[in-house]
Amino acid sequence: MLNNNRLAVIIPALNEEATIANVVACVSVRGATPIVVDDGSLDQTANIARSAGALVVSHEVNNGYEQALNTGIHEAAARGFELAATFDADGQLDPDDLVRFVDVLDAEKSDLVIGVRDYRNRYTEYLLALFGRLRFGLRDPLCGLKLYRLKKAKHYFPFDTLRLVGMEMSFRMLDAGCKVTELPIHVQKREGVSRYGSSFSGELNILKSLWRVIWEFGLFRIQRQRGYSV
């Protein structure tokens, strides 16, 4: 069981009324505080999340996944949480992994823990994962489950200004020599259409992100002292 005064779980949500109540409940029952960022939903996502017990921050219009994460991370830091995890609203992730991540972060004194999924939604995610491994030593930089030690992470705010699907701050932390741990996780296949885009548009968005990552960080890995766990 986690301490809900310690860990905030950031859940960006766009039209997720079918799954958000269960995700919020599963996070809450494990002792964490869910912060749902309603990114301009046109359905009842915000009301359902609030009724389920989440703290809800709403964008009047859809600002995109990265801005939703940015809002949530800053909200967690402003409220004085020690840790913040990013977590998907679609029910693909296992909330039990939150407990595992906190245990490993504490045991290894890590600044950041990143999940490594056993399933990816798009072909271009494998291409980006290959680049992530070569440049940053990360096997799954696009994984939606990441756990940040906010005392360290806030030095790299804002969270994502380059529209890198939530990867930017973790890349900056890696290049600064922060200790990063990776943990394998299991994900459920999503039912229905991803809110990140249809098959074609989602693949195109990830390719654009890959180009922006290469432009910003370069192709070659800078050797830093890091910590990893398999």
Element (H, E) at 169: helix 168-175
Question: What DSSP character marks residue 79?
Answer: T
pLDDT score recorded for residue 122: 82
Neighbours of 135 (CB within 10 A): 20
Question: pLDDT tens string for the chain (230 positions)?
Answer: 676 689 999 999 999 999 999 999 999 999 999 999 999 999 999 999 999 999 999 999 999 999 999 999 999 999 999 999 999 999 999 999 999 999 999 999 999 999 999 887 788 999 999 999 999 999 999 999 999 999 999 999 988 889 899 999 999 999 999 999 999 999 987 665 555 444 778 888 899 999 999 999 998 765 444 443 43
pLDDT score recorded for residue 225: 41
pLDDT score recorded for residue 223: 44
Element (H, E) at 31: none
pLDDT score recorded for residue 193: 53
> Any idea which fold 7-217 has?
Spore Coat Polysaccharide Biosynthesis Protein SpsA; Chain A (3.90.550)
pLDDT score recorded for residue 190: 60
Element (H, E) at 142: none
> Among candidates 60, 16, 56, 63, which has minimal Cα distance to 37?
56
Name the maximum alpha-carbon separation found in the chain: 47
pLDDT score recorded for residue 221: 62
Distance, first Cα to last Cα, the chain: 23
Q: What are the CA-CA distances from residue 209 to residues 15, 62, 66, 144, 161 (Å)?
A: 23, 19, 11, 15, 12
pLDDT score recorded for residue 227: 44
pLDDT score recorded for residue 56: 98
State the residue for tokens 């910003």.
216
Map out the domains of the chain as residue ranges.
Answer: 7-217
pLDDT score recorded for residue 229: 43
Strands (E), the chain: 7-13, 33-39, 55-59, 83-86, 112-117, 146-149, 180-185
Neighbours of 174 (CB within 10 A): 25
